[in-house]
Amino acid sequence: MPREQDQQVTVRLLPDGEANPALLCGLNGQLLQLDLSPVSATLRFKPGDLVEVSCPKTLYLGEIRSSRPESVVIGVEHALDREALALIQQVWHGPA
């Protein structure tokens, strides 16, 4: 998986949660650690919650493994390269 640590990202609960700011602190194997902004920290993510983490180059889908008020650890199930995803969408939907 790409290294994108120490950058601003958004995290949202699936299937229809709002995107909330966070800081990607690290990716160790399949575990992604995020520091939550004060706004996001009020959401109280729980172990087992499904989430989407949106980075500039990668879209991560996974499950909350552990949660504290100021941070979460996510088990990454899927990491999608945004450039490859855009190319697939062009083929799927055709030219605009």
Per-residue pLDDT of the chain (96 residues; tens, 9 = 90+): 445 668 999 999 999 999 999 999 999 999 999 999 887 666 789 999 999 999 999 999 999 999 998 999 999 999 999 999 888 888 888 765
- Both tokens assigned to 88: 């697939």
Is the CATH code 2.40.240.20 the one for domain 7-93? Answer: yes
In angstroms, rounded to a whole number, what is the distance separating the alpha carbons of residues 94 and 23? Answer: 35
What residues contact residue 85 under an 8 Å CB cut-off, 6+ apart?
59
